[in-house]
Amino acid sequence: MSIQTVILAAGQGKRMHSRLPKVLHSIAGKPMLGHVIAAAHAATPDIKPIVIYGHEGQQVLNVFERANVKFVEQAEQAGTGHAVMQAMPHINDADRVLVLYGDIPLITGATLQKIIERTPEDAIGIVTAYLKDPKGYGRIKRNSDGDVIGIVEEKDATESERRITEINSGIYIVPAASLKKWLPELKQQNAQGEYYLTDIILLAVKEGMDIYTVQPEFKDEIRGVNDRAHLAHLERTYQRHAAYELMRQGVTIMDPERIDIRGNVKAGRDVTIDVNVILEGDVVIGDNCTIGAGSIIRDAKLGNDINVKPYSMIDGAVINSDCIIGPFARLRPGTELAKEAHIGNFVEIKKSRIGTGSKVNHLTYIGDSEIGMRVNIGAGTITCNYDGVNKHQTIIGDDAFIGSNTELIAPVKVGEGATIGAGSTITRDAPAHQLTMTRKEQRTLADWVRPGKNKNEKD
């Protein structure tokens, strides 16, 4: 017997007021459906989940075309029971079916493992929770012995039923054979005129099947998203949990409410992250690093003892130990800094290697370059790497000194120990250990008069 997960992701999400299907709206930079698929894989790693898609389905297929899932279309959205019906031809009678939802993005593999393990193979399991404000959720009905006897949707509930605080998350595990028998018996006699999956509970009770309930690890784990306010609430919930997980690993986060983690982050000891930092993709941060306020780090690897000053962006770069970056620096994909390199304010580096101890401190663009060790690049320097069609490389040898406001027209080489005079435009290779410059002679015109403003001209 295996566990077959079915993820319901066909709804329109009218309250999102969006052309985007609801399940494609993001939490932590990833579509909600992506989070649910990940949880399903964590709980049942050897089974490919079935995703029921429908409204604007091609968008869903496009986003998840490489996902390890099986797609089944629900051409007409006629309720949760109808959605599960679409999956049943693809499920063996001997299986158990785990039902999830593409708009409940924070469900964890741990909670899914709990419901799987605590529900006998011949019983139904439900994830429920007790909420102070259960508005919007179906309520769990129990008898005097505490046994589950039904689920009532809020729109169909009486006043006394709405006072019940135990809510139905909609997450079930059910024997497939029973599900195949019950689904055709569902009726549309309810406020929404839909086939409710919740009605299988009444059918199970009639047959005397045992019904088990489990609670999630945290309550927001089973909250659904109906509008953008719900989405924002779960975004901050996700970020809070991610921040506390990093703090438990030894990271100091100055304000856990002002950090965004949108990927997989591994951090060493004694890392300090200031406010409004965004970490995206796969990020590795070594020991004793400081990340300044407002910085963005994406798909990057930082070694030990790195000081990223405020409002810097590191994207697809590898930073070795003891480097200083920023403030307001931008390191683009393909950049590598050797140890003790300094990249300063308003400097952009693209697809270049900066050697050990080299400094690029002010108002500079370095692209498609190999910079040696202990090189000093003055303010306002640019490598002119693009001729309108192709990119070309600039190579600067060890211990070179590039004066301020220099243009290096690639392809070009600056030799080891060479000096380039400030304000030069270098179009040919500059020899090692020599001064190269293209400066014209300075002149002063003694009889020149600064133009005056026309008295009749208005400001």
Asked if omega into 49 is within 30° of 0 (cis), the reply is no
Q: What are phi and psi of 261, to 5 degrees?
A: -115, 115
362 is an active site residue: yes
DSSP 2-44: -EEEEEEE----GGG-SSS-GGGSEETTEEHHHHHHHHHHHHS
CA distance 169 to 134: 11
Task: Of 144, 138, 171, give the one whose Cα is nearest residue 157.
Answer: 138
Beta bridge partners of 271: 251
| Virtual torsion, Cα 241, 247, 251, 255, nearest 10 deg | 70
The DSSP call for residue 199 is G
How many CB atoms are closer than 10 A to CB 281? 15
| CA triple 133-138-144, angle to 5 deg | 90
Beta bridge partners of 297: 279, 314
Q: Which two tokens stand for residue 142?
A: 């129990």
CA distance 392 to 395: 10
CA distance 2 to 46: 9
DSSP 61-129: HHHTTTSS-EEEE-SS---HHHHHHHHGGGS-TTSEEEEEETT-TT--HHHHHHHHHHS-TTSEEEEEE
Q: What are phi and psi of 350, to 5 degrees?
A: -135, 125
| CA triple 35-19-236, angle to 5 deg | 40
Q: Is 246 helix (H, G, I), strand (E, B) or coil?
A: helix
| Virtual torsion, Cα 184, 190, 192, 195, nearest 10 deg | -10
Q: Which two tokens stand for residue 178?
A: 């029973």
Catalytic-labelled residue, pool 230, 362, 392, 433: 362
The residue whose two tokens read 């409410």 is: 257
258 in Cβ contact with 275 (< 8 Å):
yes
**In the chain, how long is the greatest CA-to-CA distance?**
109
25 in Cβ contact with 16 (< 8 Å):
yes
226 in Cβ contact with 246 (< 8 Å):
no
Active site members = 362
